[in-house]
Amino acid sequence: MLVSQKNELHVLEEGHVTSPAGYISGGTHCGLRRKKLDFGWLYSETPAAAAAVYTQNSFQAAPLKVTKQAVAVEKKLQAVLINSANANACTGKKGMENAELMQQWGAEMLQLPSHYVAVQSTGLIGVQLPMEKIQAGIAQVDLSANEAEAFEQAILTTDTVTKHTAVEMEIEGKPIFIGGAAKGSGMIHPNMATMLAYMTTDAAVDADALQRLLSRSTDRTYNMITVDGDSSTNDTVIALANAAKETSVLDESHPEWDKFEAGFQLASEILAKKIARDGEGATKLLEVHVQEAATSEAARAMAKAVISSNLVKTAVYGADPNWGRVVCALGYSGEEVDPDAVDLYLGPIKVVEDGLPTDFSEAEGTAYLEQDHVVVTAVVKAGQAEAAAWGCDLTYDYVKINASYRT
């Protein structure tokens, strides 16, 4: 069912990572969690052009390293295997051996070269993978059924909802789909998050162009979200293009590339916003727009500073229209801001004009902030660039969840 249209793009109400042709996904319970699904797989019927971006944390988990090595061989993947509950991070030589073994077992099960198999883990840091359970999960991989919802459930940790989308467009007269699935709820910060995301398309895309596209899109979407200021050890976004629709190979020279890039960006933005809205303990989605900045980089830095401010996040939770916290964050963003030129809006309510408070109604400001989707807009009047960032409020429940994470 099509529910929205923008620039010839259609967002599917129940779109999934397997909405594009030629992909199969599923999930199972292998004993890493008590009852919930904890092992998932994503499979392309043919080798797919692959691109990936990874956490900027210096402590990179073993499965991330194995996946990075796999993608580097041919810039192709055919399968991704993911376990939740255990991150296989900070696990030393044994952890690396286990990640490689997980890849090897998956390749044997699926009859693929090892470098066509990516492995991913998410969950508790510093604990070795119980490999007998991983082996049991791999043995249950079933390519005869396509169960996208089971895949989405299997990759979750503290998430409260699954996160998925698909965008449809027409390229060379053919219906082309871009699908996506993600997980992420805590340890979310603009240099990636405790998040995993998977983007798929049935278009043919040059691998190098796909990597450039993924990097650009990540900078504008996944790297523009925050929940709590912590960057995880396992964060990865993988993009696959399997050419199931047999288009010409797309790259920046293709006449419809801009449309394809817009669809990819839209799918990424939808997933990023879903991650931000599902922040641990969150009750509201917070969206920050910076307009009329000197450069795109400056706009992104200012938006990130506001969305990352704990004082802003707690004010949103308490429905307190304390706009001073927003301008304070703009000021310490590291970008040059003229304090006498800034206009600030809480939704439609202008609370600051040219750096001075307006005579707005506090009651109206409070009423607006009580909504579950809050938009803050800063107009800095220094140029034509703009950026958006997404996050959530900071609540008592966030502390409760993370105080008892291991218990």
What is the CATH number for 230?
A: 3.60.70.12
For residues 197 and 311, state if they share a domain: no
CATH at residue 310:
3.10.20.340
Which residues in the chain come in under a pLDDT of 50? 1-5, 187-193
**Residues β-bridged to residue 77:** 48
For residues 343 and 199, state if they share a domain: no
For residues 328 and 395, state if they share a domain: yes
Looking at residue 59, its pLDDT comes to: 79
Domain that holds residue 195: 2-277
- Based on DSSP, count helices (H) and strands (E) in the chain, helices before strands: 11, 16
Instruction: Supply φ then ψ for residue 133, to 5 degrees.
Output: -75, -35
Residues 6+ apart with CB under 8 A from 264: 167, 178, 199, 201, 213, 214, 217, 239
| Angle (deg, nearest 10), helices 324-331 and 310-317 | 160
Tell me how many domains the chain contains: 2
CB of 237 within 8 A of CB of 222? Answer: yes
Looking at residue 5, its pLDDT comes to: 42
For residues 262 and 299, state if they share a domain: no
Tokens of 296: 């795109």
- 4, with CB counted inside 10 A (0-12, 13-18, 19+), is exposed
Looking at residue 49, its pLDDT comes to: 98
Domain limit, last residue, from 277, 304, 332: 277
For residues 170 and 210, state if they share a domain: yes
For residues 350 and 389, state if they share a domain: yes
Looking at residue 189, its pLDDT comes to: 47
CB of 83 within 8 A of CB of 144? Answer: no
**102, 106, 111, 112: CA torsion to nearest 10:** -70
Residues designated as active site = 194
Q: Nearest CA to 8 among 187, 170, 164, 177?
A: 170
For residues 239 and 167, state if they share a domain: yes
For residues 202 and 78, state if they share a domain: yes
Domain limit, last residue, from 246, 277, 308: 277
For residues 273 and 294, state if they share a domain: no
Domain limit, last residue, from 277, 294, 312: 277
Looking at residue 158, its pLDDT comes to: 79
pTM of the complete model: 0.85
For residues 213 and 64, state if they share a domain: yes
DSSP state of 403: H
For residues 383 and 253, state if they share a domain: no
Looking at residue 3, its pLDDT comes to: 42
For residues 273 and 290, state if they share a domain: no
